[in-house]
Amino acid sequence: MLNLSKKFLQAFSVSGAENGLAAIIKEELKSVADDCIVDPMGNLLIMRKGKNSAKKLMIASHMDEIGFVVTGFTGEGFVKVAPIGGIDAIASSFHKVRFQNGLSGVLVSESEVKAADLNVKKLVVDIGAKDKKDAEKKLKVGDLCAVAPMFQRLSGSRYAAKAFDDRIGCVVSAFAALHAEKPAYDTWFVFTVQEEVGCRGSKTSAFRIMPDYGIALDVTAADECGNGSPVTKLGKGAAIKIKDRSVLCSTAIVERLSALAEDAKIPYQYEVLPYGGTDTSSMQIAGAGCAAGCISIPTRYIHSPVETIDMKDLDACAKLLIEFIEKGI
């Protein structure tokens, strides 16, 4: 999964511009796909036939990451930007960024802004332009950028990178698609678009599939307090979601995932997240509704350029997902 992580993390995939990553994933999974659809929004849907084709399982992980869109230029040649998704100004600023056309820049605050007053409205990108005219030769309004790729091993099995949210969800899903034995049901591995701006791609893809069961793969807060105690702990295994602000997971899924983890001795923990939203909610309320849950990957510093995970948790999430795909409810 390390190799898949490195490969997926290199792609430019700001919300609305996920086609580069979709092409990489499609190529990776073509050998196991019984069906493959890229829908009008850009969602990538890959199906593996199951033992029981009367039921459908949808696995959702989102390809997009937060970033910025160019809104204009200052006289001095700085690039004005607006956020796409939940940007934290302090976490994002004074980092290298990469535009979709390959151009590099650094995300900084407007010169007169003190650190304490920093917010997303005060961020600009310095691309080294001499003046406005020079900047306009290199970029136009509507161009996208994100923090430049970074992937760093820390100690042991812990790694830091930008956009682990939700590239590692895509990694777990792709790994399961490649390595699961015959699925219990027809299983749709869906790599969704525009999650960071309101779980949009999962709405249309869930409507298309109308699954009986849905499992999302996404990151969740680790070692950070929810209601006085950490939501999850790094290194303590796959997190079975109970709720976030968008969803109350179906108890049938929570119970089944817990039983599968117990039986296969996969380390797991429960996640009760007081904020946030995931593609789980779209699947649960698509059409006439389905039984939906989420396997979350504990992650520190979410939406910063140094999101940190423990690969052992990733292994646990993949094992648990494979168990569910093979055995079903």
Q: According to CB under 5 A, which one of 18, 64, 65, 166 is a site residue for Zn ion?
A: 166
By the rule CB under 5 A, 64 interacts with Zn ion = no
Q: Which stretch binds Zn ion (CB under 5 A): 39-47, 178-186, 218-226, 262-270?
A: 218-226
Beta pairing partners, 108: 124
Catalytic residue chosen out of the listed positions 18, 28, 65, 195: 195
Q: According to CB under 5 A, which one of 64, 218, 244, 307 is a site residue for Zn ion?
A: 218
**What is d(CA 75, CA 273) in angstroms, rounded to the nearest whole number?**
44
Binding mask 106-145 for Zn ion (x = CB under 5 A): ----------------------------------------
Beta pairing partners, 152: 160
**What is d(CA 205, CA 60) in angstroms, rounded to the nearest whole number?**
9
CB of 284 to Zn ion, least distance (A): 17
For residue 214, the number of C-alpha atoms closer than 13 Å in the C-beta half-sphere is: 30
Cβ distance to Zn ion smaller for residue 103 or 272: 272
Residue 136 appears among annotated catalytic residues: no
Cβ distance to Zn ion smaller for residue 186 or 244: 244
Q: Do you find a cis peptide bond into 166, omega within 30 degrees of 0?
A: yes
Is the CB of residue 14 less than 8 Å from the CB of residue 144?
yes
By the rule CB under 5 A, 28 interacts with Zn ion = no
Burial class (CB in 10 A: 0-12, 13-18, 19+), 72: middle
Cβ distance to Zn ion smaller for residue 221 or 254: 221
By the rule CB under 5 A, 279 interacts with Zn ion = no
Question: Which parts of 201-274 are beta strand (E)?
Answer: 213-221, 238-244, 247-248, 268-272
**What is d(CA 42, CA 44) in angstroms, rounded to the nearest whole number?**
6
Beta pairing partners, 62: 192
Cβ distance to Zn ion smaller for residue 218 or 244: 218
Q: Which stretch binds Zn ion (CB under 5 A): 30-38, 95-103, 159-167, 183-191?
A: 159-167
By the rule CB under 5 A, 165 interacts with Zn ion = yes
**What is d(CA 299, CA 184) in angstroms, rounded to the nearest whole number?**
30
By the rule CB under 5 A, 271 interacts with Zn ion = no
Token pair in block for residue 180: 């699961």
Q: Which stretch binds Zn ion (CB under 5 A): 12-20, 92-100, 211-219, 318-326?
A: 211-219
Is the CB of residue 314 less than 8 Å from the CB of residue 234?
no
By the rule CB under 5 A, 65 interacts with Zn ion = no
Q: Which residue is nearest to Zn ion (CB)?
A: 166
Active-site residues, by number, are 195
Contacts to Zn ion by CB under 5 A: 165-166, 218
